[in-house]
């Protein structure tokens, strides 16, 4: 599928300070100096110990379209009117053809401090990528991680529907949410535009307004499905079963069944879920089945979802037995403010839900609305750079680095290790010393049974690597989550995954730290 072009993905989608720094680099003759930047985050979201990297397809779109047009340059001129006019000529001339980008594939489980992107090239151009690349990867990775957590909570046999469009953070947030919820493991979206543009499955049910739009039987005139009166048949079943239900609701269900005889799924909580909605659904379902179509199921959208799903399943079973129809496995969809904790709680209550519809808490990432991915200079003119901080977590790891995932005999990942780019790569079967980045007492020997190089050169002035499709990334992610130790991926108090440095990089970091921090003198 051709990649869609989002009109916002362009170099002017940046903070002013990137442009002012760019001018200062240019003014001082440093704009073409060779620089290396890393994009990484410091803490996993949702009190978790894993994150899923995403946003790469937009990063590529950004690089492919990295050019300022005349209108944009004219506008920038109004922001820094004192700048020399040759600077604006230079801005008009630049593109991403001198950049190299190394990236971890989209849909990979990633951990704090591992550089997800390594950007190399002229200082001013690589600097100009900071904000745009971060905005493209931060929310995409956050929502993918959130979706993966919802999927893990529900279990792989459940169907997960993303319903977030109406509650998302603007149209752009909604499109990103739909796309990356799918990468994270959702099965479909209700967002029709996302379906068309990203080629992801679209599905849905109906709303309360449809039910409320039918007042009584007279609102449903042409009642025949395959020549049989669906409403009359449903009324016959209602009489036989002794139900007293809402007439408008029964009529609405019957009319919906006429429109979708092979996809009849009813929203049952408009008036009284157990007293009217489910009985009405069963009457129309029996009528439809008699005509020759298999009904699909119900949606619960309020109340105690565990209790109601268990009751609904029991009513399906009873109807199956009484009328000798295969209704036991009809689908139960649940929605209404579902979050990860609610899913875990529903699991504890042995719910009977087959399908979760999740909107607000998925797309707004309610329990943590931002991922703190950052973009830091790690090398300039071949000099490694460090950014120090009182908080150890905020210290950047210098040098142009490669990252490797080391696996043990059991097939599980042991740790990720960052190494200087000119070091020999870890070898299968060869013992290597790895160190905690900042705690000198924490070190270990690893003899890897498998070594995975995490970065790929994806951009070398142009796209040089085939980027996996969303579905490929989605499958790969689920395989990785299954293969990862459960103590790392569990929801409550997970264990941190080990991130380490090669011995050489560790020593270099300490050395640079000592060199860069002046020793204070006290008298």
Ligand X SMILES: O=C(O)c1cccnc1
Ligand Y SMILES: O=P(O)(O)OC[C@H]1O[C@H](OP(=O)(O)OP(=O)(O)O)[C@H](O)[C@@H]1O
**Considering CB distances under 5 to 8 angstroms, the limit depending on partner class, which of ligand X, ligand ATP, ligand Y, none binds residue 156?**
none
CA 249, distance to chain mean position in Å, is: 37
Q: Does 346 bind ligand ATP (CB under 6 A)?
A: yes
d(CA 139, CA 372) in angstroms, rounded, equals 9
Q: How far is the CB of 338 from ligand ATP (least distance, A)?
A: 5
Please identify, using beta-carbon distances, which residue of 336 and 366 lies nearer to Mg ion: 336
Q: How far is the CB of 335 from ligand Y (least distance, A)?
A: 4
| Piece in contact with ligand Y (CB under 6 A), picked from 52-60, 216-224, 305-313, 335-343 | 335-343
Q: Using CB under 6 A, which of 15, 89, 321, 337 touches ligand ATP?
A: 337
425 class by beta-carbon count within 10 Å (0-12 exposed, 13-18 middle, 19+ buried): exposed
Please work out the total of residues on this chain that contact ligand X, with binding judged by CB under 6 A: 8
- Alpha-carbon gap, residue 459 to 60, rounded angstroms: 8
| Residue nearest ligand Y (C-beta atom) | 359
Residues 345-364, interacting with ligand Y (CB under 6 A):
357-361
- Smallest gap from residue 164 Cβ to Mg ion (A): 12
DSSP 159: E
Binding residue (CB under 5 A) for Mg ion from 18, 98, 320, 336? 336
Query: Site for ligand Y (CB under 6 A): how many residues?
Result: 14
Which of ligand Y, Mg ion, ligand X, none does 204 bind, CB closer than 5 to 8 A by kind? ligand X
Which segment (190-198, 310-318, 338-346, 442-450) binds ligand ATP by CB under 6 A? 338-346
* Distance of alpha carbon 132 from alpha carbon 5, whole angstroms: 15
- Minimum Å distance from CB 343 to ligand ATP? 9
Least Cβ distance, residue 379 to ligand ATP (angstroms): 48
Residue nearest to ligand X (CB): 204
Q: Which is nearer to ligand X, 174 or 512 (CB)?
A: 174
**Residues shown for the chain:** 523
Nearer to ligand ATP, 43 or 167 (CB): 167
Residue 205 binds: one of Mg ion, ligand X, ligand Y, none (C-beta under 5 to 8 A by kind)? ligand X
In terms of CB distance, is 336 or 347 closer to Mg ion? 336
- Min dist CB 154 to Mg ion, Å, is 18
d(CA 107, CA 174): 19
58 or 162: CB nearest ligand X: 162
Residues 361-390 contacting ligand Y, CB under 6 A: 361
Dist CA 489 CA 213 (whole Å):
46
Task: Show the tokens assigned to 180.
Answer: 């990356």
Q: DSSP class of residue 3?
A: P
Q: Could you give the C-alpha distances from 134 to 13, 75, 128, in angstroms and in order?
A: 11, 23, 11
Burial class of residue 244, CB neighbours in 10 A (0-12, 13-18, 19+): exposed
Q: Does 270 bind ligand X (CB under 6 A)?
A: no
Determine if 203 is a binding residue for Mg ion (CB under 5 A). no
Residue pair 132/151 in contact (Cβ under 8 Å)? The answer is no
Regarding 130 and contact with ligand Y (CB under 6 A), the answer is no
Q: Work out how close the CB of 35 gets to ligand Y at its nearest, in angstroms, rounded to a whole number.
A: 44
In the complex, the smallest distance separating the C-beta of residue 264 from ligand ATP, rounded to whole angstroms, is: 23
3-state secondary structure of 247: helix
With CB under 6 A, what is the number of residues at the site for ligand ATP?
12
Query: Residue 366, interface with Mg ion (CB under 5 A)?
Result: no
Task: Give the C-alpha separation, 517 to 523, whole Å.
Answer: 19
Closest distance to ligand X from the beta carbon of 161 (Å): 7
The least CB distance from residue 428 to ligand X, in Å, is 49
Strand 355-358 and strand 331-334: the pairing is parallel
Closest contact distance (angstroms) between CB of 344 and Mg ion is 20
Which residues between 287 and 306 bind ligand X (CB under 6 A)? 299
Q: Please identify, using beta-carbon distances, which residue of 102 and 163 lies nearer to ligand X.
A: 163
Query: Least distance in Å: CB of 48 to ligand X?
Result: 26
The token pair at 469 is: 């499709």
Query: 335 or 402, CB closer to ligand ATP?
Result: 335
Closer residue to Mg ion, CB minimum distance, 336 or 449: 336
* Residues from 283 through 312 that contact ligand ATP (CB under 6 A): 302-306
The residues pairing with 441 across neighbouring beta strands, listed in sequence order, are: none
* Residue 381, Cβ density class (10 Å: 0-12 exposed, 13-18 middle, ≥19 buried): exposed
Task: Find the binding residues for ligand Y in span 158-187 (CB under 6 A).
Answer: 163, 166-167
In angstroms, rounded to a whole number, what is the distance separating the alpha carbons of residues 170 and 172?
6
Nearest to 67 by CA among 122, 10, 135, 130: 10
Cα–Cα nearest to 21, from 163, 176, 126: 126
Do β-strands 159-162 and 109-110 pair in parallel, antiparallel, or remain unpaired? unpaired
User: Which helix (H) or strand (E) element contains residue 506?
Assistant: helix 503-516
Distance separating alpha carbons of residues 251 and 238, to the nearest angstrom: 12
Gap between the Cα atoms of 182 and 185, Å rounded:
5
**Around 67, how many Cα atoms within 13 Å sit in the side-chain half-sphere?**
7
Catalog residues that contact ligand X under the rule CB under 6 A. Answer: 163, 190, 204-205, 299, 335, 357, 359
Catalog residues that contact ligand ATP under the rule CB under 6 A. Answer: 302-306, 336-338, 342, 345-346, 349
């Amino acid at each position: 599928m051709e990649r869609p072009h989002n009109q916002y993905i362009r170099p002017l989608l940046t903070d002013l300070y990137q442009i002012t720094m760019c001018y200062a680099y240019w003014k001082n003759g440093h704009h073409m100096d060779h620089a290396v930047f890393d994009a990484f985050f410091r803490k996993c979201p949702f009190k978790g110990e894993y994150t899923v990297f995403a946003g790469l397809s937009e990063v590529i779109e950004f690089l492919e379209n990295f050019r300022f047009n005349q209108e944009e340059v004219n506008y920038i001129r109004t922001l820094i009117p004192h700048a020399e006019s040759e600077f604006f000529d230079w801005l008009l001339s630049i593109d991403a053809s001198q950049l190299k980008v190394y990236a971890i594939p989209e849909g990979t489980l990633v951990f704090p401090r591992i550089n997800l992107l390594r950007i190399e090239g002229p200082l001013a151009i690589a600097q100009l990528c900071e904000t745009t690349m971060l905005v493209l990867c931060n929310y995409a990775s956050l929502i993918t991680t959130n979706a993966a957590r919802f999927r893990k909570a529900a279990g792989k046999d459940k169907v997960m529907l993303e319903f977030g469009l109406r509650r998302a953070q603007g149209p752009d947030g909604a499109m990103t949410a739909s796309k990356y919820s799918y990468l994270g493991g959702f099965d479909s979206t209700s967002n029709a535009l996302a379906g068309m543009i990203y080629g992801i499955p679209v599905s849905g049910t109906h709303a309360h307004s449809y039910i409320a739009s039918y007042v009584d039987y007279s609102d449903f005139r042409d009642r025949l499905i395959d020549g049989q009166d669906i409403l009359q048949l449903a009324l016959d079943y209602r009489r036989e079963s002794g139900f007293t239900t809402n007439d408008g609701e029964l009529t609405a269900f019957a009319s919906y069944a006429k429109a979708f005889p092979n996809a009849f799924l009813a929203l049952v909580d408009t008036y009284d879920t157990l007293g009217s909605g489910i009985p009405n659904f069963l009457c129309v379902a029996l009528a439809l089945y008699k005509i020759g179509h298999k009904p699909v199921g119900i949606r619960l959208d309020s109340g105690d979802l565990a209790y109601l799903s268990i009751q609904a399943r029991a009513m399906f079973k009873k109807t199956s037995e009484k009328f000798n129809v295969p209704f036991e496995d009809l689908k139960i969809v649940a929605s209404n403010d579902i979050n990860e904790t609610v899913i875990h709680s529903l699991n504890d209550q042995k719910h009977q839900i087959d399908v979760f519809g999740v909107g607000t808490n998925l797309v707004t990432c309610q329990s943590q609305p931002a991922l703190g991915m950052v973009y830091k200079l790690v090398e300039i003119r071949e000099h490694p750079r460090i950014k120090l901080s009182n908080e150890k977590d905020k210290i950047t790891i210098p040098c142009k680095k490669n990252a490797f995932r080391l696996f043990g005999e059991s097939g599980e990942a042991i740790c990720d290790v960052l190494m200087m780019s000119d070091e020999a790569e870890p070898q299968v079967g060869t013992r290597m010393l790895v160190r905690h980045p900042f705690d000198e007492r924490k070190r270990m020997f690893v003899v890897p049974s498998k070594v995975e190089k995490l970065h790929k050169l994806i951009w070398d002035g142009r796209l040089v690597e085939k980027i996996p499709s969303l579905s490929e990334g989605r499958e790969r992610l689920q395989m990785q989550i299954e293969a990862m130790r459960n103590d790392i991926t569990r929801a409550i108090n997970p264990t941190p995954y080990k991130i380490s440095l090669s011995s050489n990089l560790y020593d270099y970091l300490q050395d640079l730290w000592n060199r860069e921090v002046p020793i204070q003198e006290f008298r």
